Chains A and B, each alone.
Chain A
Amino acid sequence: MLGWELPPHNSGGLGVACFQLCKSLAKNNVDIEFVLPYKTDQQNDFMKIHSTTPMNYTKLKHHLNVYDGANYLSTHAVTSEQLNYENYVASKAQENEYDIIHAHDWLTFRAAMKAKQATNLPLIAHVHSIESDRSGGESGNPMIRDIERLGLMMADKVIAVSQMTKESIAREYDIPLDKISVVHNSLDIDELDELDNDNVYEYIELLKSNGYKVVTNVGRLTIQKNITGLLYAAKDVVDILPKTLFLIVGDGDQYHELISLSAELGILQNVIFAGFQRGKKWRDAFGIADLFVMPSVSEPFGITPLEAINYGTPSLISYQSGVSEIYKNCLKVDFWDKDEMVNKIVGFLRNEGLAKTMRQMATEEIMSMTWDKSAKATIKEYSKHKKVLA
């Protein structure tokens, strides 16, 4: 299994999805060796983790962030980390009797191809996002597109995290639809830490006790996530419901731009930027919210709304997200439809009955979700391709 990050060293949902999938695969008796590009002390009882360099995560991230395609310049400038990773994987693949190479997203695809060439093992390319998703609908970095195209073409099977992603893969790279299977991400609620009684956002609690309602977004501040769209909507929401606070948790290349935009819109006093958070500050951001909003332009899956409801907070999400294919008890809107976003945020915030019903129904809904179903679907793909080999 080839990945670029695992929690706690993750900059987004990719690492979490890899970790949870592996854990459930292991429970279904899949023997996994996971290759990471950075050094980690982290070991666990369900899989073996290899590190290809002695570099730690922070340093690696400085060189090559999984989401930072714009700074990935050319194939000639492939970083030594990536070359190390490729060579390690290719030689490792020949050492043992593996059945499958399972590679997550473009950063691992060169290594996966090398390993496949060296061993002729079946390759499963698991797509959590493609370049056009990460660049907010633009085509993105052509170098990365080349890697994605080659990797997806060489793969024996492509797994996409949503129907929407499956269709983008087919559209962007001419991969036949029947080569792509959809395995949705999921959520195991007992894997998530619980809220405690003291919310860390004390000031926001004070505002809430003064009648404020809180709308939260947790995610990277990049064009893909459409926080600009949310701020334009926020302006109209605040016009109708002045006691509304928008809590924006995350970091990214749009950070400064978003702060200026809030000021230009005259709603700086209604928007709080809390930066990138983990652990309790991350959990409490969900916990303190009345409504979680994920307005993404393109979200191949997008697990945060499910995490939000685990902390008791219902969501408004864009139809342009994979999670909208499986999550029913939430509000949905097209990411470009600002007026409808406003309509739904306002409609939700001033209707306790709606909030209560949605919270109950959505909580019931996530109770039945489990990564086990995703693991079993993945194993089904493994077994198909192992047979071909035999």
Chain B
Amino acid sequence: MKKSIVLYLHAHQPYRVKDYSVFEVGKNHDYFSWDDSDPNGNQKIIDKVSEKSYIPTNKKLIHLLKTFPEFKVSMSITGTLITELEKWAPEVLQSFVDLVKTGKVEIVAETYHHSLAFFYSLQEFEIQVRMHREKIESIFGQTPKVFRNTELAYNNDLAIWADKAGYKGILAEGWDKVLGWRNSNHLYKPINTQNIKLLMKNYKLSDDIAFRFGNRNWNEWPLTADKYINWINDSQDSEIFNLFMDYETFGEHQWEDTGIFDFLENMVPIWLKDENNTFMTVSDAIDSYKVVDTIDVPETVTWADTERDLSAWLGNAMQQQAIKAIYSLSSKILGTDDWSLIEDWRRLQTSDHFYYMCTKYFNDGDIHAYFSPYKTPYDATINFMNAWHDLRFRLNEKGVEI
């Protein structure tokens, strides 16, 4: 059996809440339209990330897909990003469609709004997963078969849900505390499930690219494709190398001048030089390898921070209160059948909003770890909660008791 790299890229942008003051509550219901001059505005960010990342990355990927028959990619793209691209950069969305048209790109399922709904409202979660599937079918003509939850937030219950929902696979962080003596480089099965398989991110190899690639203080800098592929080839007891990362790694987190695009282009032929090596999509890997063991994850594991838990989104009191506030409106909002109100409410569920309220490391001055359009986590909270108050105002206007 050949050894495979499973490259999975996750593309997402939220609808960031503008500076939305208490004086706008009840008067202006548009929380997401920023001043044209503001570089943190949603459209400005789409322009910037498209130019720096999506366009050049897709150009590189399509070249690789057309040049190397064995090269394959998996990706996910959130509903919020798709609608932003539809509005502001349709040609960029087309470049994603062109990738999928090669027949060698698999799209992974997730929630439309990149939310943490699974942990707050199963009903809402299922609606968002269905919305995402329908959007993917209409744009890409493909039905996703493998599921990933927002922030790779995973536990046994989620796997059981995905199994029952008919997914053949699910993705999770290959966290040492979960794996114990095992490594992430095999196919696993979640505990208490029937058919579903589990692919676990190789966080070391993934983060070498996603986080460390351009860091000149890293003792492995500069990372060449030769060196990197040697590391993979040297791995013992391994079948699959799950390289999971943000799409924006290419060109946005790691700028072009780090050589990240050349690295991507070079690593493919170097890996394929050995005829025992290949690339697979997530479904290929699930179909090709045998399950070696069962994985038990009672506590939620994510792909963030050294804690690998949800504390970046739900670690402090204001994050917890804000997310509870949003889900406390569920039945009232859904009961209105007002689709613009419902959509605004869903956009506020996007996990990024809670991330901007994160105070972890704030006292250490580590602002780079938490890129945010706001000056402080407190400003983020006030803007968000003002939008929440306006949702209630709109409910009240419709005669719903708040």
Contact = CB atoms under 8 A, between A and B. Distances in A.
B375 interface: yes
A365 B319 CA distance: 20
Contact of A240 (B22, B322, B377, B378): B22
A347 B375 contact: no
A2 B301 CA distance: 60
Contacts of B363: 328-329, 361, 364-365, 368
A351 B22 contact: no
Contacts of A361: 316, 359, 362-363
Nearest to B386: A347
Interface in B284-321: 316-321
B317 A353 contact: yes
Interface residues of A, number: 27
Given A340-B21, A356-B317, A351 B385 contact: yes
Nearest to B321: A353
Contacts of B386: 343, 347
B381 interface: yes
B382 interface: yes
B23 A354 contact: no
B378 A343 contact: no
B382 A357 contact: no
Contacts of A360: 316-317
B195 interface: no
B48 to A, nearest CB: 27
B376 interface: yes
Contacts of A352: 317, 321
A365 B364 CA distance: 9
Contact of B378 (A331, A350, A368): A331
Contacts of A365: 363
A352 B321 CA distance: 8
A353 B382 contact: no
B393 to A, nearest CB: 12
> Which of B317, B363, B378: most chain A Cβ within 10 A?
B378
Nearest to A345: B22
A342 B363 CA distance: 26
A336 to B, nearest CB: 15
Contacts of B375: 332
A342 B25 CA distance: 13
A17 B49 CA distance: 49
A331 B377 CA distance: 10
A353 B319 contact: yes
- Residue in A348, A350, A353, A361 whose Cβ sees the most chain B Cβ within 10 Å: A353
A361 B318 CA distance: 12
Interface string B11-29: 0000000000111000000
Contact of B322 (A329, A350, A353, A358): A353
B21 A356 contact: no
Nearest to B365: A328
A343 B23 contact: yes
A321 to B, nearest CB: 15
Given A328-B376, A356-B318, A365-B363, A351 B381 contact: yes
Interface centre among A331, A350, A358 (most CB of B within 10 A): A358
B378 A342 contact: no
A354 B382 contact: yes
A281 interface: no
Contacts of A240: 22
A331 B381 CA distance: 11
A174 interface: no
Nearest to B388: A351
Nearest to A365: B363
A329 B362 contact: yes
Contacts of B378: 329-331, 348, 354, 357-358
Given A351-B385, A368-B363, 13 more contacts: A240-B22, A328-B363, A331-B378, A332-B375, A347-B22, A348-B382, A354-B378, A354-B385, A357-B316, A357-B359, A358-B318, A360-B316, A361-B363
7 shortest interchain CB distances as A-B pairs: A353-B321, A347-B382, A353-B318, A353-B317, A356-B317, A343-B21, A357-B316
10 contacts: A328-B376, A329-B362, A329-B363, A331-B376, A347-B382, A348-B382, A351-B385, A353-B317, A353-B322, A357-B359
Interface of A: 240, 328-332, 339-340, 342-344, 346-348, 350-354, 356-358, 360-361, 364-365, 368
